[in-house]
């Protein structure tokens, strides 16, 4: 049965919007979730947290008039339960079925699609360069981006196509002009917003080193080579070539205070090296990543903040709520950053997580080799990002 075909429940069912559910989780409330998607979807990607009790019972278990007692026994009857599905149709039906049986339930508006629409901006308090730096956070996939603004100008690093209008609206609300939209590399987990913002009059910037991968629109945008600088008010964003995750991977040093590392280094892990050249090319890419980290990143002053393009469930936010950390702190906490090269390569190749969902189509779209509409683009990037090496083996004790 298609989720859109579910009948309207005979009882009124309250709904909760995704932002409200996120705020409850962030506030530390005990939240119970009944995820009515198929187990395979649930295992790949779900709402989780220390204060979240998550139960998976697929919607088809509730299609019979007499729901099995074993199913009902799995659902808490002593607190409110939020039911969710992929788009919101099945969850409303399941919630209604449970409400008829006396359960205290509501359902998540638009399901996991609604969860994927949450996008929050948090100020980076420890940034001490010119202007103000915000970190955009997409909790559904762990995607991060950065908005720098100063003296009437702004730049966005690693924008997402799904939030093109959001960036423009935020710049307007801040009273600044969005002058640059900058990508760190050809992304494999989400559709880039650089071209869409460029079409809106923002200067799109992609790494010069990424063009050789077959970018079809390079002549329409500005390309950034190692050492190139972009002025944003009194602040400067400098390109720092850091290949490894991809051959074109380029970090951006924001006014000598924060290095936006893309998928090269995260606050809890380092990049995976196999998404561009596959398993055969991964060892060489891992060595390239090691050199980039040792020679271009870890040589920065210890108080330079690191801000990646992603965070995972293993990442702990800083006191300001951002996923940033001083490079000196990461060296002290992450064993992988102090290993010899051979040991580093062996480690990150030893336990590679699954590749991001739809990554081949996403890469082709970001290269301009395939075209997708906004709805298909949004659907392609649903799910976890998986652009990092396994966190289990990288952190110190």
Q: Give the tens place of pLDDT for each residue, 45-69.
A: 999 989 999 999 999 998 877 889 9
Structure tokens given for 253: 């040093």
What percent of the chain lies above the pLDDT cut of 90? 83
- Domains contained in the chain, CATH given: 3-115 (3.40.250.10), 120-393 (3.60.15.10)
Q: What is the DSSP letter of 6?
A: P
Tell me the pLDDT tens digit for each residue of 224-241.
Answer: 999 999 999 999 999 999
CB 299 within 8 A of CB 364: no
| N residues, the chain | 397
pLDDT at 382 over 60: yes
Confirm if 326 and 303 have CB atoms less than 8 A apart: yes
Dist. CA 24–CA 249, nearest whole Å: 37
Q: Which residues pair with 33 in a beta bridge?
A: 54, 82
pTM over 0.85: yes
**What Å distances lie between residue 114 and 33, 362, 383, CA to CA?**
15, 21, 12
- The bridge status of strand 305-308 relative to strand 258-262 is parallel
Q: Which residues participate in catalysis according to the annotation?
A: 85
The answer to whether 238 and 283 are in contact (CB under 8 A) is no
- Spatial separation of the C-alpha atoms in residues 392 and 397, rounded to whole Å: 11
| pLDDT-based confidence at residue 296 (cuts at 50, 70, 90) | very high
Closest CA to 157 of 206, 97, 101, 219: 206
State the Cα–Cα distance between residues 273 and 388, nearest whole angstrom.
Answer: 9
With b for 16 or more beta-carbon neighbours within 10 A and e for fewer, the 81-104 pattern comes to: bbbbbbbbbbbbbbbbbbbeeebe
């Amino acid at each position: 049965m298609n989720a859109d075909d579910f009948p309207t429940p005979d009882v009124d069912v309250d709904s909760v919007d995704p932002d409200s559910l996120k705020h409850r989780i962030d506030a530390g409330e005990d939240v119970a979730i009944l995820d009515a998607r198929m187990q395979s979807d649930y295992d790949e990607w779900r709402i989780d947290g220390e204060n979240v009790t998550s139960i998976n019972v697929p919607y088809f278990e509730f299609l019979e008039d007499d729901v099995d007692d074993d199913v009902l026994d799995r659902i808490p009857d002593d607190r409110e339960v939020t039911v969710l599905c992929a788009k919101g149709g099945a969850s409303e039906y399941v919630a209604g079925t449970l409400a008829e049986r006396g359960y205290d339930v509501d359902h998540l508006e638009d399901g996991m699609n609604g969860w994927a629409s949450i996008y929050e901006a948090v100020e980076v308090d420890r940034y001490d360069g010119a202007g103000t730096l915000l970190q955009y956070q997409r909790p559904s996939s762990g995607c991060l981006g950065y908005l720098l603004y100063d003296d009437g100008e702004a730049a966005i690093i690693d924008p997402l196509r799904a939030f093109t209008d959001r960036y423009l609206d935020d710049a307007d609300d801040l009273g600044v002009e969005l002058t640059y939209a900058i990508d760190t590399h050809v992304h494999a987990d989400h559709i880039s917003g650089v071209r869409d913002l460029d079409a809106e009059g923002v200067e799109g910037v992609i790494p010069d080193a990424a063009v050789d991968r077959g970018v079809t629109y390079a002549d329409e945008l500005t390309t950034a080579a190692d050492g190139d600088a972009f002025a944003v008010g009194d602040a400067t964003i400098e390109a720092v070539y850091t290949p490894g995750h991809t051959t074109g991977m380029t970090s951006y040093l924001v006014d000598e205070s924060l290095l936006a590392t893309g998928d090269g280094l995260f606050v809890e892990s380092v990049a995976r090296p196999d998404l561009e050249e596959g398993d055969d090319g991964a060892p060489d890419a891992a060595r390239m990543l090691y050199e980039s980290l040792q020679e271009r990143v870890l040589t920065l002053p210890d108080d330079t903040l690191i801000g990646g393009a992603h965070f995972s469930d293993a990442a702990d936010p800083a006191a300001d709520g951002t996923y940033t950390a001083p490079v000196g702190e990461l060296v002290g906490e992450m064993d992988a950053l102090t290993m010899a090269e051979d040991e580093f390569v062996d480690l990150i190749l030893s336990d590679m997580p699954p590749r991001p969902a739809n990554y081949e189509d996403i890469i082709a779209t970001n290269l301009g080799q395939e075209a997708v509409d906004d709805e298909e683009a949004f659907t392609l990037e649903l799910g976890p990002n998986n652009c990092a090496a396994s966190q289990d083996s990288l952190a110190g004790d």
